[in-house]
Structure 1
Amino acid sequence: MRKVFLSNIFIQNLEKTVFKSDDFIISDETKYLCSLPYVIEDRVKEGDTVCIITGVNQSTDKQENKGKKNYEEIFKPEIRRSVEGKNVTLEFYEIPIMKHYDADAFNSFFRQVVELLQEGDILHLDLTWGLKPYITSLFIALMYAENAGIDVKVDTVFYAHRYDGVDDGNHDKPSFIYDITSLYYLNSLAGHAKKGQRPMLDHILRFLIKE
């Protein structure tokens, strides 16, 4: 059984920030530039098999590929540090994100993600970075794997609202990591809805979601 963490790489230059969360246990709020390592620290236990699947921008010209550079020099080292001392098996899988964008590229990305997922996987999704079609592809891949696979579980979907203080120079203002797994299950509820069920489902939503 693997704990799988899916995300897209960032192409920005990240400034140091303070992370906080009401949903995850964060032991050291300034340890990482990326948000995913904090969630890995919270979710990964001794002896786990940890699989990191990441969409990484690829360069098609002579310009520096910032996504690839961030992936190799920042993202992967921080992931490795997040599991130090836990005796885990750590696997990295890179899915290329090409310079040109069209439906075929987005569909191919989805297929490559799905082909890396296995029966029995426990899935975690970071929706912080990436173009919307690639974020959507990762979200749909979770549902595909859970519905079509055997013993596949979606554990966590999260988003980090990152604040680096560039606008006003206030680097003490914190960034927040939010658990939005409930949106995944609301999407599943909508996907299974039948014609004519709207009144009943509206009642369920009012019960589940309080003002």
Structure 2
Amino acid sequence: MRKVFISTIKMKKEDQAPVFQSRDFDLGDKKFFAPISYLMDANLESGDDVLVLTGVTDTDVPRENYEQHLKPELQRILEAHHVTYQIQEVKEPDIDTEREIQDSLTFSEFFRAVADCLQDGDRIYADMTYGMKCYTLGMFIAMAYAAKAGVDVDVERMIYAQFYKGEKETPATSDIIDITSLFYINTMVSNAASGQKKSMDNFLKLMIG
């Protein structure tokens, strides 16, 4: 069994990093650069085999965010937990400097690149916070494909951090929200047959409230 931590890098440089908080997770007093770091720190055990997969746009700010902040932070967490790990990037074409190469296949190719990294037995932890929506959608579809077509592949946790900019003396905050249920709701509705909407509606009302 391998643990896979998937995310995309923050695109913007912020003057002040937000304060992360959560009603779904106990973050303790840790202060990390990105939500994926909290997810990783809480779910590693000594001896784990780990793949870290990050979508990175190769321009100045995202590259700086990755090389100077996220990657070193993840390495510190991995080494503190005494795991075996591999860190791998998935390229995201830049919307400005590489505009001429972007077409209908751009995001499908990103999906394929993520899916190609997933294998039987994986336990997946994903942070859907940053990056262009099409990249996080491609990441979601890659996880759904691996869970459906692979053997013993599970999405253990999926999170999103909702940003609040703050006002005056109130600092900016980001609420880390557990959205794993959306992945499994998608699995259920994808398996629905024609004519089942009414019964599925009733089931979803019972399940969600």
TM-score (norm 1): 0.90
* Equivalences, count: 202
What do you get for the CA RMSD once the two structures are aligned?
1.6
Q: Shift in Å at residue 158 of structure 1? A: 0.6
- 2-structure distance, mates of 1:193, 1:102: 32
Residues 40-51 of structure 1 aligned to structure 2 (within 5 Å): 40-51=40-51
1:23 counterpart SS class: coil
Q: Shift in Å at residue 203 of structure 1? A: 1.1
Paired residues of 1:38 and 1:82 also in contact (CA < 8 A): no
Listed one character per residue, the Cα deviations across residues 40-93 of structure 1 (whole Å, up to 9, x for unaligned) are 11111121122111110024xxxxx21112111111011122234211112111
Paired residues of 1:25 and 1:42 also in contact (CA < 8 A): no
- 2-structure distance, mates of 1:73, 1:207: 47
Q: Shift in Å at residue 126 of structure 1? A: 0.7
Q: Shift in Å at residue 202 of structure 1? A: 1.0
TM-score (norm 2): 0.90
Which runs of 5 or more residues in structure 2 are unaligned? none
Paired residues of 2:36 and 2:126 also in contact (CA < 8 A): no
- 2-structure distance, mates of 1:169, 1:108: 44
Which runs of 5 or more residues in structure 1 are unaligned? 60-64
* Aligned residue number for residue 189 of structure 1: 188
2:105 counterpart SS class: helix
Identity of aligned residues (%): 38
Paired residues of 1:54 and 1:95 also in contact (CA < 8 A): yes
